[in-house]
Structure 1
Amino acid sequence: MEFFEVINKRRSIRKFKPDPIPKEDILKILDAANWAPSALNLQPWEFLVVTGNKKNMLGSNYGKIVDHYTKDWDAAPDKAFMPRQEFIQFANIYGGAPAVIIVLVEAHKDPKYQKAFIESASAAMENMLLAATALGLGGCWMTGPLDDEQYLREVLSVPDDREIVAISPLGYPMLIPDARPRLDPDLTRKVRWLE
């Protein structure tokens, strides 16, 4: 796929085929993430590839988070990007994805460094999602599971000197949603030219 086609085809995937992902493809995706730009070239990211029982444990916990978070959605469906029960089902099994990728960074005491580390990890996350798209895979940038970060730390043995930045299920899409409209497609409100 051509570069701009990859960008335009990337979607947040929430339904996956159960097919396993070759380890070489996961490593290719994480290598793309590892080539992201980073503040001072410190490359502060780390990646956890979670499968099997640990993935199931994460899903069960995320399902509880979503169940609580969406308790009022039935009364206000205009707030929902998907039906409540469908969202809970997705969360419980991460959409059926065979793997979940967790992006970590070093926890730094200096807020300036910490902000730079999170921004750097965000660039790595974007590279990861674009690489997945280029290989016919999909993911979904998620922070919702961090609502119970302590549980994630315990299950994944994440030490206190690491911060969890984001999570993405990873797999072959069962369903690719239509593109959601851009809020300012002709960039007349989001771009200012200064001289």
Structure 2
Amino acid sequence: MENKMSFAQFREIALKRRTVRDFKKDKVCFSDILECIELGIWAPTGSNLQRLRFSVVTDGDLIEKIKLYSPGLPKTTPAVLAIYSYEEEEYKNKFYEEIINCDIGLALQNICLGLYLKGYGSCIVKSFNQSMLDKLLHKENHKLRILLAWGRIEKFPLPPERKEIKTYLI
């Protein structure tokens, strides 16, 4: 396997990407998010179940309705990626409930880094009224897990301070 990117290049990308909450009103490119979703589906999944499903929302009226039940969604959000898990009876136990959260995190990291490289900002949002959004964004045999606000960046935030690496080692 030959790496086209150095560790230093990847490190720079990972350290520069920030959570963005101020977006421009510009329209987003559907093909850009599809390419980033592809990065997400190539992330590892528990037991290789590949249960994540994605719905792209760019309709302004629907986004306004989502905001009513999602206080964490930035006010200027031009697009939302709703992430679901495919649900079958066999997946309704503690083990599968725990691993799906890992799957989501791994997929989101890839998607967010891809969006950043395409000039978009993103904000992961879990603060929403589950029952209301389940009704609004219902997909048969799927459970809404998390939202990703994304769009062109209006204001790029400064990074928060981090403690020294040794602080995190136990």
What's the C-alpha RMSD, in Å, of the aligned pairs?
1.8
Code of the aligned partner of 1:102: A
- CA offset at residue 98 of structure 1? 1.7
Consecutive unaligned residues in structure 2, runs of 5 or more? none
Structure with a larger share of its residues in strand: 2
**Partner Cα separation in structure 2 for residue 155 and residue 141 of structure 1:** 19
Whether 1:95 and 2:102 are equivalent positions in the alignment is no
1:140 counterpart SS class: strand
Consecutive unaligned residues in structure 1, runs of 5 or more? 67-89
**Partner Cα separation in structure 2 for residue 112 and residue 106 of structure 1:** 15
**Partner Cα separation in structure 1 for residue 68 and residue 47 of structure 2:** 38
Alignment of 1:19-38 (within 5 A): 19-38=26-45
- The TM-score with structure 1 as length reference comes to 0.75
- CA offset at residue 27 of structure 1? 0.6
- CA offset at residue 135 of structure 1? 0.9
- The TM-score with structure 2 as length reference comes to 0.85
Structure with a larger share of its residues in helix: 1
Number of the residue aligned with 1:129: 112
Number of the residue aligned with 2:145: 165
Alignment of 1:98-177 (within 5 A): 98-107=78-87, 108-145=91-128, 148-159=129-140, 161-177=141-157
Contact 1:44 1:121 in 2 (8 A): no
* Deviation by residue 1:13-51 (Cα, 9 ceiling, x = unmatched): 111011111111111111111111111211111111112
* Deviation by residue 1:136-157 (Cα, 9 ceiling, x = unmatched): 1011111112xx1111111111
Contact 2:134 2:143 in 1 (8 A): no
**Partner Cα separation in structure 2 for residue 166 and residue 28 of structure 1:** 19
- CA offset at residue 3 of structure 1? 1.8
- CA offset at residue 162 of structure 1? 2.8
1:15 counterpart SS class: coil
Would you identify which runs of 4 or more consecutive aligned residues in structure 1 move more than 6 Å? none
Q: How many residues align?
A: 159
**Partner Cα separation in structure 1 for residue 86 and residue 41 of structure 2:** 15
1:24 counterpart SS class: helix
**Partner Cα separation in structure 2 for residue 173 and residue 150 of structure 1:** 30
Identity of aligned residues (%): 25
